[in-house]
Structure 1
Amino acid sequence: MSEPIYALDFGFMVGDVEDFLEFSESNVEWQFRREMISVQRQAASDALEPGYKEHLETNAKHRFKVSLPLRVRYAALVALITSVEWAIVLVVGRLRVPLPEKPKNANAPSFSMTRTGRRI
């Protein structure tokens, strides 16, 4: 945190989060299609027991349409929040008049954002 973060850097960080989200979601979709093709090939070669094909398809749909996209979006959200927190730390450090003391039960980044927002 000793390296300064400028507005352009913050723009790049937010852009990187957006790129990460787009890349990850397209990769999850590609992996889903690949998994479904694999299940179809196994079923065509009669290597699967009756009903097992549907089981594999259901599992793949849940994994690639629900579970993985949820985790990717959560990771992107954490990255975005972290970028905003880093920017707030920089802004608070450069204020001419320091912020009041943070209440004991307050979240430091949220407190800084609300107090900084009132001053700007």
Structure 2
Amino acid sequence: MIPLSLIGFLVHPLAAKSFLLGAIVYMLPNLYFTYYAFRYRGAQAARWIARSFSWGQSGKLALAAVGFALVFRFVQPLQVEFLFIGFGFMVVLQWFIGLQVAKNFRL
């Protein structure tokens, strides 16, 4: 993401900044989810694992909403279309990486 944004800064700085902010709004809530959901391990902690996934997903959605609200409130000027393109790019990138990992670990 960073190399793509750096190249974008050379071409159109405002679009690149908006794109990078969209990617960050996606990444930070997902980092929270990853940390929160995978705190527990083992069969004895199954109930806590299920709760952690639920709370992690709820927190992720709330953090994404807050992230967008903060960007819209405090970042001016902003190209909204590139903000959403950056967010969407990260969604597609996550799907692609997930497919590659699944393909490499087939039994």
Q: TM (normalized to structure 1)?
A: 0.42
Structure with greater Cα Rg: 1
Structure having greater relative contact order (Cα 8 Å, sep ≥ 6): 2
